[in-house]
């Protein structure tokens, strides 16, 4: 009943969001085949779930479709979600029926709490392992800079906003090492999804044999955050192990060489295989 008023009138919508956030409430979003607890103080993923009914589901569905058509997604595959936030992409991927298990990396404690709640809400807690650590090139620790409004934009390396002054120290692990500790062989992984807010090059460097085996990777390519040297090194690394790049926001039949990443100037979700 209130949806037409709240969705199309930002002032009313923000008033409701502010009131809920001030009380520390969460909003449960029943979206048909998926359900999510959302934080009303999160003005991006949380807001999209509440007011638009989803968050980038098309991209995960497209990646699964492309890999299935190319016969690059084996049955009983395992999903690795790096920068899982509150679990939208993990849940979407598991709902495709193409993954038997998942491992989700999320270092920010409040996001990790919602991630676990959302796995429970979708009956996926038993098939998904949550690793409350950041992923990088080497094990250790790092400062995670927090965005005050976009809970999915917390970033290692640099503050994600001019007013983002809060930061927490989080453990960092190589994805390859974490999977090894869990007893997961690289051959079991069907897709690695990476959304690390500009830290993608370091995450890729920590994949080890996953790269050597050319395990498909979908990741948020953010060239504005990479230096020219970093961008070239990232493309060179991928070129050694992959042949095909697909832009998940392009037409379904889109294909290009890995080197085409060098021509992308704006943020985009890409799949390499």
Whether the predicted pLDDT of 15 surpasses 80: no
pLDDT in tens, 68-83: 999 999 888 999 999 9
Q: What domain range is 9 assigned to?
A: 3-272
- Is the predicted pLDDT of residue 3 greater than 70, yes or no? no
The per-residue pLDDT for 72 is 95
3-class DSSP state of 190: strand
Contacts of 127 (CB under 8 A, 6+ apart): 94, 100, 101, 102
Q: Which whole-number Å values give the CA distances from 155 to 19, 150, 184, 222, 265, in the listed order?
A: 27, 11, 27, 13, 20
Q: Give the pLDDT confidence score for residue 95 in this predicted structure.
A: 98
Segment 182-192, tens digit of pLDDT = 999 999 999 99
- Which range among 20-24, 214-218, 265-269 shows the weakest confidence by mean pLDDT? 20-24
pLDDT at position 125 over 80: yes
Domain count, the chain: 1
Task: Give helix 88-95 / helix 57-69 axis angle, nearest 10°.
Answer: 40
| pLDDT at 23 exceeding the cut of 90 | no
Instruction: Give the domain CATH number at 51.
Output: 3.40.50.150
Q: What is the pLDDT of residues 135-157, one digit of tens each?
A: 999 999 999 999 999 999 999 98
Average pLDDT score over the chain: 93
| Mean pLDDT to the nearest integer, 226-251 | 96
3-state secondary structure of 21: helix
Give the number of C-alpha atoms closer than 13 A to the C-alpha of residue 224, restricted to the C-beta side.
Answer: 5
**203-213 residue pLDDT tens:** 999 999 999 99
- With a pLDDT cut of 90, the percent of the chain lying above it is 85
What mean pLDDT is predicted for residues 245-257? Answer: 95
pLDDT 10s digits, 92-105: 999 999 999 999 99
């Amino acid at each position: 009943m209130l949806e037409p008023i709240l969705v199309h009138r930002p002032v009313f919508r923000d008033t409701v969001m502010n009131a809920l956030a001030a009380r520390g409430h969460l909003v449960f979003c029943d979206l048909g085949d998926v359900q999510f607890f959302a934080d009303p103080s999160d003005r991006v993923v949380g807001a999209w779930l509440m007011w638009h009914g989803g968050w980038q589901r098309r991209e995960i569905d497209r990646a699964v479709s492309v890999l299935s058509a190319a016969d690059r997604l084996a049955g009983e595959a395992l999903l690795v979600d790096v920068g899982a936030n509150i679990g939208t992409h993990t849940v979407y991927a598991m709902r495709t029926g193409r993954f038997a298990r998942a491992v989700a990396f999320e270092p920010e404690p409040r996001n990790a709490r919602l991630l676990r709640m959302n796995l429970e809400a979708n009956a996926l807690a038993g098939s998904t392992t949550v690793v409350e650590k950041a992923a990088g090139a080497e094990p250790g620790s790092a400062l995670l800079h927090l965005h005050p409004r976009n809970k999915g934009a917390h970033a290692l390396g640099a503050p994600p906003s001019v007013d983002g002054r809060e930061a927490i120290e989080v453990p960092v692990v190589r994805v390859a090492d974490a999977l090894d500790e869990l007893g997961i062989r690289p051959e079991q992984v069907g897709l690695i999804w990476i959304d690390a807010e500009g830290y993608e090059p370091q995450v890729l460097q920590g994949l080890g044999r996953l790269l050597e085996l050319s395990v498909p990777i979908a990741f948020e390519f953010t060239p504005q955050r990479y230096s020219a040297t970093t961008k070239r090194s990232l493309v060179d690394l991928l070129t050694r192990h992959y042949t095909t790049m697909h832009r998940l926001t392009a037409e379904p039949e889109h294909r290009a060489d890995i080197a085409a990443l060098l021509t992308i100037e704006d943020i985009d979700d890409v799949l390499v295989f």
